[in-house]
Every structure is written in C-alpha cells, then in structure tokens.
Chains A and B, each alone.
Chain A
C-alpha cells in the first residue's frame, strides 16, 4: 500500500556538488504482531519514501509532529534501526551495503546526540570513561595520559570543567548532560552530527545555551548537522534548510527563511501558524487544523494530508503528490499549490 514517490533523479538539486549525505526513497515499516502465533498482522509506515541531500557545512532541519517519522529517519541513516528499503549515501559510500566493520568505521564520521541525555549516558561510568570509550573503540589514543588530555580538551570545548571527568551522570543538570553527550559525539571528530531533539527536554534559558554551543562548534569544526526537532522556532533559528515531514513523508523542503516567509504546502502553513509568538502585540491569522494526525498503520490514501487539508479536492485522495521543485531550491509535494 506504499504510494509512489519522487524518484531519486527528480529530487537531486541540479547545481549541487556531491552532497555529504544523500537519502533516497528511505522506508521503514515496523511489523505489528498479533494473535497467538505472533504473526505479522499489520505494518506501521513510519518512514514512507523519504529523500533529501545534505551539503557539507549546512544544517538541515527536520520538523514534524509526533509520529511523523523524523526520529526514525535519523536512526535509519546511521542504521541504528535497519531501514526496510531505500538508499543512504555518505561521503560517496553506500551505507546500506556496509558490513559491520565498515559501518563502525563510518560511524566515526557520523555521530548522534539524543533528546534525553540521561537515558543515553551509562549511569555507572564516569564522564571521563563515557567520553574516553569512543576514543578507545576507534583507537584514537595511544596511552591513558593521551586519553585524559583529550577528554579534558573536549570538556573544555563544550563548556565543562576538567574535574568533571571524575563525576557520574547523575551529578549533572540536564543542560550539562547534553553537553556531555555533545562532547562524546565530538570525541571522534565526526563530519555529520545527527541531533535528535537535542534541546526539547531543556528549559528555555538552558536551551539557548546548548543552541549557541552547537552553532559555535559548527563554526569551529566545520560540522554538518541533521537537526531533528518538533519546535519550529528552534529549527528555524539553527537551520540552513528545513524539511517538513507528515506521516512518514517529506511534504516540503526549502531554505529556512523562505519556508517561514512563504510556505507552499498547506500543512507547513498550518504548522507555522500554530506556533505561539511571544509578543502580545502581534495578532496573526491562525489556520486551525481539524482533528488529529491519522493512524500511521493505515495512512490516508493519496496525499496523506488530504483528511485535514483546508484546500483538498476530491482527487487528492486518489493521487499521491511527488516532491517538485516549485521555486528554485524550494520543493513541495502538493497538487494544488505552486
């Protein structure tokens, strides 16, 4: 019941030099088992044909509501979750064809940080051991002293103190833990950092600290980010380009400012208008979406958004729109918007 989506050729920007990361028609279907024999009774179409490129040095933001497949997409790229089908190309290499050793080597260049920095730090290890582990696995240090020196350097890079390396994760606040997660990811000098909701669990004043840190690190080390978040304000702030996802599909990709100023897809438009603005003098017209996001086990036919779309026409439930370049560098999947 998967619908046709854009073929790889149609989504490659013509002017792009070889991108750092290319994702083509990525799909992940989770099996739902039921009955006494645990047979597969249904499938959740978590990621349903996602394609995009990321150029070296840019930040691609991925936004969408719960269950749109943004986190699964991030994990499939690293093969932390095995995709059902599709292609992932990283620095010209085919990630899907890599064996265990090649994958391990590739992950030196592609790291991830998570939403909940407590759940992703081993509570029994000191911060020094957590950060040093990556250095040992990838054989980046020759002696214990070299490891400690490198850990101290990394802690200072992310704004922590050298003596923090002797402490355990529970001794740190949420913001500090996220800094530790970032230090661990940076230890192996990656080129691409997948940030999966890195500031969602943090208070706004701490959130700003971590966002600023990520921006500084990008500048200092020439990092490329895939920045996954549900908070549109944060994504707009940090991203070069933004992909909007709905029910497993990308519905729009555009440069950040352009997406916010002139969104094309009705879903992007509604999503943006729903963000509360912290300024009581601004009164905007809000586009209210009716109802909830449909169940991803049985997504609506045709355009997944047609059940909530204010401009839907009868054939939207028949034909799946493909991502088309409606304006230079601005792609959207909608039959009736240009």
Chain B
C-alpha cells in the first residue's frame, strides 16, 4: 500500500490548566490518502478540532503540548519542525478553513490583499499580478464580479461568501490537503449545500485531499469516503462511509446515528429518538478503560479496566470496543 499523505500515530495533545492536565487528544491514530475526503466526526470536546490544529501546529504552547505521537506528512514527522520549517508547509501544502470565516479574515484589509498575500508568499509576483491572481481565485469560487469584489472588505460579504473567500485563500497555493474545520456549521442549510458542492468541485479540480471536521452525520454521509469517529479524545471507530452507516459497530457510533431525526423518513413515522444517556466525561480525569463505558448500554466490568485497542472487524473497518 502506498504511503498515506498524512499519517497521525498515537497523537496526544494535552493542555495544562489551573485545574490540571486536560487530555484533549489522547492517543489518536488516523490517516488520509491522496485525493480522498476523510470525515472526522464527534461531539463538542471530543478533540476533533485540536487534532486538526495539531497537524498545522496551530496550538498555543504553552498551555498546550505534544505529549506523544507522530504527525507524518508524506513520511516526515511535523512535530519536531521549527516554526520557519512549518511556514513552508502551511498554506502551500496543508491549508485550513474554519467555522467562522469572519474571525479568520482581517477586517482592515481587503479580501484581495489577503488572498494576494498568500499567493505572494510562495511565488514571486508584482502586487498587480498578485491582485489579479486573487481575482482569479474569487472567480474560481464563483463570487460574482470578482474584479470589483477583490477591493471589498470582509464585512461587505455575507457568511456564505466569506466562506468562499476563505476557500479561495486556502486554495491559492494549491495545497495537497485542505483541513476544513466545521466549514458549514455557521451557515444556513441552502448555503451549506452551495459550499459543500463548491468544495467537491475544487477537490476534483485540484486533486487535493480533504479532512472534513464536523458534528453533522448528514454532511459526512454526503461528502466523505472514509470516516473517523472520535469520542473524548480517542478514535472509537474508523470505516468507509458505507460501512459506518450500514454497519456501525461501536455503541457510540450506533447511538450517534440513531439519535438524529431523519427528514427522509416521515412516512414510517414517528419513532422515538434514541438518546444517549448521560454526558461526556471530564477530560481532566478521564475514566480508566473505555471512555464511553459510563454511557454505554452494553458496558461490562471489563470495559472499565483498560482501554480496548482498535481492532479490525472488516477491511479497513476498525473499532475500539471489546464486543
């Protein structure tokens, strides 16, 4: 098998707080192959965003620190790299877009200047050429009147248009991997559909891989090839989209899928939703053993004794559960 584009092994990103060490990411393994879309799903606080930011080393240290693990980018570990070395990888090879584009765009510069800055980082161009390049990127992400809009400021764009600007900026150096951290969560559903379609088009055009971080199972089902499910800092299941939705094996994944109301099932009416009882554990002092045990319907004594390993239950389908 070819070497994966990105291979995260046993990553532990912890944060030192006044109350103690928060084990936000506590032994995560995942990989992304060239050109594929990997969904990383889980609820608030499961560590999906910290995992994504760890890849680009966008974690403030301190309070954060890499406790263990490797982040292999095309075989090379990113963790020991200096900030200067990381700058050669950021944007050019791995780009990231965030949930709230307004907080990641600088309000006092035009969007053209901001995109041009990224373009100029990696190519020797005059300002005029760089601005023209920025307009070309805006055209690519289907922003109307790109030559005029490059001179506008972020506040002059709507939420959906700002996310298009972010995508334009992220793609301007043609990265091999785009990390999209909840890119459509702040958007209305019709705008979400537009942005997801745009990401799909861009992926096909540039042949990049996407790491899509989201809590929305519907978005995963419609856009990803493979999925990694996270819970309380651990990976609990990894599978192809078909296997994950067709045959979810971890009780948490099963619960997650069954707890969503389904628009397309109005005919067979109104089953009660299957809620997962309880709440997520405190990562200051995670329970020994399986982190989901306290909320799991099938929990046994053995579940609280040690963290079960990820075991393969089908081709490419891994589950962290003793069952």
Query: Which A residues form the contact surface with B (CB < 8 A)?
Result: 65-66, 173, 175-176, 203-209, 211-212, 215, 230, 232-234, 236-238, 256-257, 260-261, 270-272, 274-282, 284, 286, 288-289, 292-293
Contact = CB atoms under 8 A, between A and B. Distances in A.
A221 to B, nearest CB: 18
A203 B44 contact: yes
B189 A274 contact: yes
Interface residue range, chain B: 35 or more
A234 B189 CA distance: 13
Interface stretch (B67-75, B124-132, B275-283): B275-283
A128 to B, nearest CB: 21
B275 A205 contact: yes
B194 interface: yes
A337 to B, nearest CB: 18
B19 to A, nearest CB: 14
29 contacts: A203-B215, A204-B43, A205-B43, A205-B256, A205-B259, A206-B43, A208-B273, A208-B275, A209-B276, A232-B263, A233-B261, A233-B263, A236-B261, A237-B261, A260-B263, A270-B190, A276-B192, A276-B222, A277-B221, A278-B218, A278-B260, A278-B262, A279-B262, A281-B242, A281-B246, A288-B193, A288-B197, A289-B193, A292-B191
A215 B272 contact: yes
Contact of A274 (B193, B257, B273, B277): B193
A236 B220 CA distance: 21
Contacts of B259: 204-205, 207-208
Nearest to A276: B218
Closest 9 CB pairs of A and B: A276-B218, A237-B261, A208-B275, A208-B259, A203-B43, A65-B188, A205-B276, A278-B217, A208-B273
Nearest to B222: A276
Given A175-B279, A281-B242, A271 B189 contact: yes
A110 B263 CA distance: 29
A226 B196 CA distance: 31
B222 A277 contact: yes
A173 B279 contact: yes
A292 B263 contact: no
A278 B189 contact: no
A237 B221 CA distance: 20
Nearest to B160: A292
A274 B190 contact: yes
A94 to B, nearest CB: 35
Interface of B: 43-44, 158, 160-161, 188-194, 196-197, 215-222, 241-242, 245-246, 255-257, 259-264, 266-267, 269-270, 272-277, 279
A275 B188 contact: no
Contacts of A276: 192-193, 196, 216, 218-219, 221-222
Q: For B188, B217, B274, which residue has the most chain A Cβ atoms within 10 angstroms?
A: B188
A281 to B, nearest CB: 7
Q: Is the interface of B mostly helix, strand, loop or mixed?
A: helix
B189 A275 contact: yes
A237 B270 contact: yes
Contacts of A292: 158, 160-161, 191
Given A205-B275, A208-B275, 10 more contacts: A65-B190, A204-B215, A206-B43, A208-B259, A208-B276, A211-B273, A284-B264, A288-B197, A289-B190, A289-B193
A236 B265 CA distance: 10
A278 B196 CA distance: 15
A267 to B, nearest CB: 9
A212 B261 CA distance: 11
B190 A271 contact: yes
B220 A278 contact: yes
A256 B266 contact: yes
Contacts of B262: 233, 237, 277-279
Contacts of B245: 278-281
B193 A286 contact: yes
Given A212-B275, A277-B222, A272 B263 contact: yes
Given A209-B277, A215-B272, A236 B266 contact: yes
